[in-house]
Amino acid sequence: MNGIHDMGGMHGMGPIEVERDEPVFHEEWEGRTFVMTRAIGMWRKWNIDTGRFHIELIPPAEYLRMSYYEKWFVRLADLLVKTGLVTGEELETGRPAPGSVRATPPLTVEQVPAVALNRFLAPSYEPGIPPLFHLGDQVRARNINPIGHTRLPRYARGKSGCVAVDHGVHVFPDTNAHGLGENRQHLYSVRFAARELWGEQASERDFVYIDLWDSYLDRV
Domain segments of the chain as ranges: 28-116, 138-219
- Give the pLDDT score at 57: 97
The three-state secondary structure class of 170 is strand
**Domain 138-219 coded CATH 2.30.30.50:** yes
Which of 3.40.50.300, 1.10.472.20, 3.40.470.10, 3.40.630.30 is the CATH number of 28-116?
Answer: 1.10.472.20
Question: How is residue 210 annotated by DSSP?
Answer: E
Task: With residue 35 as reference, give the H or E element that holds it.
Answer: helix 28-40
Task: Give the predicted TM-score (pTM) of the model.
Answer: 0.89
- Give the pLDDT score at 62: 97
- Give the pLDDT score at 117: 64
- Give the pLDDT score at 103: 83
Q: How far apart are CA 78 and CA 212, in angstroms?
A: 29
Could you list the pLDDT tens digit for every one of the 220 residues in the chain? Answer: 899 999 988 888 888 889 999 999 999 999 999 999 999 999 999 999 999 999 999 999 999 999 999 999 999 999 999 999 999 999 999 999 998 888 888 888 888 877 766 655 566 788 999 999 999 999 999 999 999 999 999 999 999 999 999 999 999 999 999 999 999 999 999 999 999 999 999 999 999 999 999 999 999 9
Q: Do 28-116 and 138-219 agree at the fold level?
A: no
